[in-house]
Amino acid sequence: MRTSLLLFFLSLFSIGSAEAQSFPADWQGKWQGELLWYQGVNEPKKVPMQLNIQPADSGYTWQLSYGEAQSDHRPYSLLPRDTAKGHWVIDEHNGIIIDMYLVGGRLHGAFTVNNVTIVNNYRLEGDTLVAEFYTLSAKPSSTSGEGTEESPTVSSYKVSGFQSARLSRISQ
């Protein structure tokens, strides 16, 4: 009986926690931290990173800055497409629009450019915004399986890089 009650209260807590987070309203603000960029087995390159998310006319700003003195500034926009289905886009204002999807309280996207696929996700952990990017070859490094129901064809891809940033909100 105690176990059942404990599970019941834990489920109520988790439901309440999931509902407490509102995207993108709770993500608004100016975020700052350090991006760790891993390539192969070497030590990570450390790069200052900022993300500014603010309400705008048709959506939100999604302004990324990298480097000392924000030397690499990317003034993108986060725009709603079908929020009931968690579909958003990042508009780079140069003809490139990247689909993003809110799944499990995290914002996910994947795109391919110049034979490299980048998978990214952003998540809010309390007062920290975590950004992660995986870089992999768009072409399989190997293919295995027999192409049957019991042994389907499976393609593997080389992961060549990983980037991770933990950003703290410095202002609303």
> pLDDT tens across 18-42, in order?
444 699 999 999 999 999 999 988 8
Residue 48 scores a pLDDT above 90: yes
User: Which has more pLDDT, 162 or 20?
Assistant: 162
Residue 166 scores a pLDDT above 80: yes
Residue 1 scores a pLDDT above 50: no
In angstroms, what CA-CA distances link 123 with 36, 56, 103? 16, 21, 10
Lowest mean per-residue pLDDT among 3-7, 149-153, 157-161: 3-7
> pLDDT tens across 60-113, in order?
999 999 998 778 999 999 999 999 999 999 999 999 999 999 999 999 999 999
pTM: 0.83
CA atoms within 13 A on the CB side of 162: 8
Architecture of domain 2-171: Beta Barrel (2.40)
Averaged confidence pLDDT in the chain: 90
Domains in the chain: boundaries: 2-171
3-class DSSP string for the chain: CHHHHHHHHHHHHHHHHHHHCCCCHHHCEEEEEEEEEEECCCCCEEEEEEEEECECCCCEEEEEEECHHHCEEEEEEEEEEEHHHCEEEEECCCCCEEEEEEECCEEEEEEEECCEEEEEEEEEECCEEEEEEEEEECCCCEEECCCCCCCCCEEECCEEEEEEEEEEEEEC
- 89 vs 105: CA distance, rounded Å: 16
